[in-house]
Chains A and B, each alone.
Chain A
């Protein structure tokens, strides 16, 4: 069992392990087994394609939180140049669970920000598992206002289990911090382009998710509550998470069908974590394309459209 692979990815892991072994052997020996390696590689790709062709919502939910999945800073490093991280909310602290700063996207100066999770235990704790406290949201808002002032578009990457549910977060007004962002983002006089890159967890995600366009990576999720949380409340058992994941309609293609997001950005075969460079290339292209179209829209039209985008969400019987 390879811990870098999820259970349904294990057959791929086994095949990949075999290929690695053969490579090791072929380095040592004169015998040419390249044919065998490429045959196995073809097989591995086929296997991946067949497994990934029919994923359940629960499997996708777990992919969106895959330990190997690229995080905000990975994308910033691969897609952007001249990144200058800007720290702190100017009131209380710097929240490492939400990062942001100035950067260039293929030459265009932008304000980029996003939730940041950690890789190893130490970093996970530093990043608080990607769960911001109020100071994180206040830092994000400060950077957005700066972006507005200097006519820079805002690019937000969403990847969080949710806003941090802790005593200190409540003391410093977690609710107010989130609410304030929803309010201010709605009237921010500069384009806002949001992308869900992993886990779109409830209010903590929405707090940097009010934009002119909201796009999602193919295997990311966006939901009002985690499948586990939903299952334990409505089914009274966290074991029902797979059912809850299905019922919540949290996958990117489904949310696009429902008109809740604009575009699904395709991931490389086997998911973003199997080829993060290819993913960065695809994401970079998408960001550049959408950003140019948003920047060419007059500001008044943009703001009116942003307002209407949210007004029309949610059907009722009159």
Chain B
């Protein structure tokens, strides 16, 4: 305790430790603009910063919750779990890593697949849970993706997948690599049946996931400022031994290099995808929904002429 603090009467003296313990879960900080945000507001905006429009990561389940219509939802193959065929062990056992990931995320593996509708357009939507071992693709992810596509083909409805993944799951070694071929294979059947597959690349989509089904969408969509690429920036920096340019491997970089069709903000995702799918399926246009604008409270952003 410094001499100054000693002078302060005990009753107004605050202990550094207690001072720091702000109740958790009420406030959140935007990692981009550092704005302190009210958690409930963030939930409403789907984890998009209302101040700077930064798209923060969102859990797979929350994403589908926002994306799909409220009724007619059915989760598919929810109970598929991983088999540790190789009895893989590094500093931790793979089995242990699986159960920690399950506990932390509440998910059985890194992909969630739900059959439902978006603005009345029936489809199957899949979303990665990045919190589950970095959204890595192992046999369960591959199998769930294939089954989702097969059910889509049975019902003659489109498939939409939101990727957020570090790549293949090392703990399943070559089996995980083969999921790249497996997931790409089922898309050849979707194509034969003329059913659309829309791939939405979100932050981050790298490695084996980006180098397989995620780049094979009839339409590839990216969320703003998402990191998307084959090799991770650190690996590239080590190889070429120079710092990478600003914005490298970000959505805007991919758009300008021709790798994705559009960048769509999270708030507009439902409307845009429903509209695209309805056209591809030859259906009537879905109804217009009121879209939550991130800058609603800022009149200057709405009307720049002001």
In the complex, identify which listed stretch (B44-52, B154-162, B206-214) lies at the interface while the others stay far away.
B206-214
Q: Check if B230 sits within 8 Å of A169, measured CB to CB.
A: yes
Q: Within the complex, what minimum Cβ distance (angstroms) separates B267 from chain A?
A: 27
- Cβ–Cβ contact B177 & A317, under 8 A: no
Bitwise interface map of B from 77 to 117 toward A, beta carbon under 8 Å scored 1, else 0:
10111110110111100000000000000000000000000
Question: Could you mark each residue 30-63 of chain A with 1 if its beta carbon is under 8 Å from any beta carbon of chain B, else 0?
Answer: 0000000000000000000000000000000000
Please give, as numbers and ranges, the residues of chain B lying within 8 Å of A183 by CB-CB distance.
184-185, 187-188, 216
Check A224 against B236 for contact (C-beta < 8 Å).
no
> Quick one: given A311-B146, A317-B81, are A224 and B90 in contact (CB under 8 Å)?
no
Interface segment among B32-40, B120-128, B167-175, B294-302: the answer is B167-175
B235 within 8 A of A: yes
Asked if A187 CB lies within 8 Å of chain B CBs, one says yes
Cα A172 to Cα B229 with chains together (Å): 11
Q: Which residues of B contact A318 (CB under 8 A)?
A: 77, 79-80
In the complex, chain A residues whose CB is within 8 Å of the CB of B240: 166-167
A206 and B215 contact, CB distance less than 8 A = no
Given A166-B239, A167-B236, A187 and B80 touching (CB < 8 A)?
A: no
Query: Contact at A224–B85, with CB atoms within 8 Å?
Result: no
How big is chain A's contact interface, by range? 35 or more
A171-B230 in contact given A179-B215, A224-B174 (Cβ < 8 Å) = no
Residue of A nearest to B168 (CB): A224
Which A residues touch B79, using CB under 8 A? 318
Q: Are A182 and B212 in contact (CB under 8 A)?
A: yes
Inter-subunit contact A163/B90 (CB<8 Å): no
Q: Is B143 close to A, CB under 8 A?
A: yes
Cα distance A234–B168 when bound, in Å? 14
Of B20-28, B68-76, B134-142, B276-284, the one touching chain A: B134-142
Q: A180 CA to B146 CA in the complex, in Å?
A: 17
| A248 CB–B CB distance under 8 Å | yes
Asked whether, in the complex, the Cβ of B88 is within 8 Å of the Cβ of A175, the reply is no
**Do B187 and A314 touch (CB < 8 A)?**
no
Question: Is B258 part of the binding interface, using a Cβ–Cβ cutoff of 8 Å?
Answer: yes
**Does B269 make an interface contact (CB < 8 A)?**
no
Task: Assess whether B257 is interfacial by the CB under 8 Å rule.
Answer: yes
User: Given A173-B257, A203-B177, A314-B143, A249 and B230 touching (CB < 8 A)?
Assistant: no
Residues 222-237 of A, flagged 1 when their CB comes within 8 A of B and 0 if not, give 1111000010011110
How far is the CB of A281 from the nearest CB of chain B, in Å? 28
Contact A315 B170 (CB under 8 A): no
Known: A165-B231, A307-B185, A311-B185. A170 touches B248 (CB 8 A): yes
Provide the residues of chain B in CB contact with A178, threshold 8 Å: 180, 211-212, 230
With an 8 A cutoff between CB atoms, is A113 at the interface? no
**Complex: A313 Cα to B168 Cα, angstroms:** 14
In the complex the two chains form, is B188's CB within 8 Å of A187's CB?
yes
**Given the complex, which residues of A lie within 8 Å of B138, measured CB to CB?**
314
Note all chain B residues with C-beta closer than 8 A to A236.
91
Within 8 Å CB of B184, what residues of A? 179, 182-183, 186
Tell yes or no: B178 within 8 A of A by CB.
Answer: yes
Give the distance in Å from the alpha carbon of A174 to the alpha carbon of B215 in the complex: 10
Minimum CB–CB distance for B77 against chain A, Å: 8
Shortest distance between the CB of A299 and any CB in chain B (Å): 15
Q: Which of B80, B82, B182 is the one whose CB lies under 8 Å from A310?
A: B182
- 29 A-B pairs with CB atoms under 8 Å apart are A163-B211, A163-B230, A167-B240, A169-B230, A173-B257, A173-B258, A175-B228, A175-B229, A175-B230, A179-B184, A183-B184, A183-B185, A183-B187, A203-B211, A224-B170, A230-B170, A234-B170, A235-B91, A247-B90, A248-B170, A250-B174, A258-B85, A260-B174, A310-B182, A311-B146, A311-B186, A313-B179, A314-B179, A316-B83
